[in-house]
Amino acid sequence: MALEDAKTQVDQAFTRTSLGGLSYENAFGGAPSFLRRRYTKDLGGVDVAVTGIPFDQSVTNRPGCRFGPRAIREASTLQPYDPPYGWGFDPLGDFNIVDYGDMAFDYAKISAFPAAVTEHFRTILNAGAASVTLGGDHFITLPILRAYAEKFGPVALLQFDAHSDSWVDDDAERIDHGTFVYKAVKEGLIIPEKSVAVGIRTENPDTLGVNIIDAPEVHRIGPSAVAEKVRRIIGDTPCYLTFDIDGLDPAYAPGTGTPVWGGLSSAQAAVILREIAGLNVLGGDVVEVSPPYDTTGATAVAGAHVAMEILCLWAWTRRK
């Protein structure tokens, strides 16, 4: 059946007639929506809206992650032929998932950007959908969290990252990808004692009460023990998952702006993400994929898999 479908399916981003189901369109051709989902701005009946925020104007080192959403979409075309391995169910068949496209914004009017992001996600959440976001730099998580906290109240934050992103920043007008956790705590958007940052390997003594499982601990106790610790800390608290691709070691994700050695392998990250199934994940993002430094495409592939895992985590507690 798959072979026969592959002969006829093309541009399913526009031509598919349903919001669910696998896709057998040739990976090397057609319009690259995320997982070959339908491109649409109609959120009626949608369970999850995948959306891109192509913004990288708050980076401290190498830019380029504004091109991340496009690269992740292209890399994702390798995945929608089969249900995701090891999960035991098919989120693409069981749920209505769409590619909501990228958020439009005036790149020359940065002061208006944060409010525009919050409004973008307010629209998605008020329609009854969850969001999975393709970044973009890590600043975008702050205005996304504002929309989630507005709807659900303060949430637990599960963060994969080389950096804590909790450096002090009391200037409300600053836009910085390294301070989003600080501001999220100070604004009461997240619950620090229920939040966890995994993979940290840069020095920042004040983590504002967020639990840290640094990269050396991951290597020492192993990914299954990390997943158990994460589940124990977060419990049944609704959580938002943010995955900075620099949480992975540069050997696995070289295409990012602030790479730090000694990070997680893609295999470790995959085990942790699978074994935290059961957490009440409300939504999530994958950020800091910078294609100009991703010479093999490995970073975008990793980003696409992370986004699929976030979809699976959201769907796990909501599957039929």
5 a known binding residue?
no
Residues facing residue 307 across a β-bridge? none
SS3 (DSSP) at 73 = helix
161 a known binding residue?
yes
47 a known binding residue?
no
C-alpha to C-alpha distances, 229 to 213, 217, 264, 284, nearest whole angstrom: 9, 11, 16, 20
- Our measurement of the distance from residue 12's CA atom to the centroid of its chain's CA atoms, rounded to an integer in Å, reads 23
CA distance linking residue 162 with residue 301, whole number of Å: 19
C-alpha to C-alpha distances, 19 to 15, 31, 61, 73, nearest whole angstrom: 11, 16, 39, 17
C-alpha to C-alpha distances, 259 to 90, 181, 303, nearest whole angstrom: 34, 19, 15
Residues facing residue 50 across a β-bridge? 99, 132
CB count, 10 Å around CB of 284?
Answer: 24
165 a known binding residue?
yes
Q: Are 257 and 63 in contact (CB under 8 A)?
A: yes
Is there a cis peptide before residue 283, judged by omega within 30 degrees of 0? no
CA distance linking residue 63 with residue 68, whole number of Å: 11
138 a known binding residue?
yes
C-alpha to C-alpha distances, 113 to 24, 110, 147, 159, 179, nearest whole angstrom: 37, 5, 14, 23, 16
CA distance linking residue 108 with residue 96, whole number of Å: 35
CA distance linking residue 183 with residue 190, whole number of Å: 10
246 a known binding residue?
yes
Binding residues for Mn(2+): 138, 161, 163, 165, 244, 246
Binding residues: 138, 161, 163, 165, 244, 246
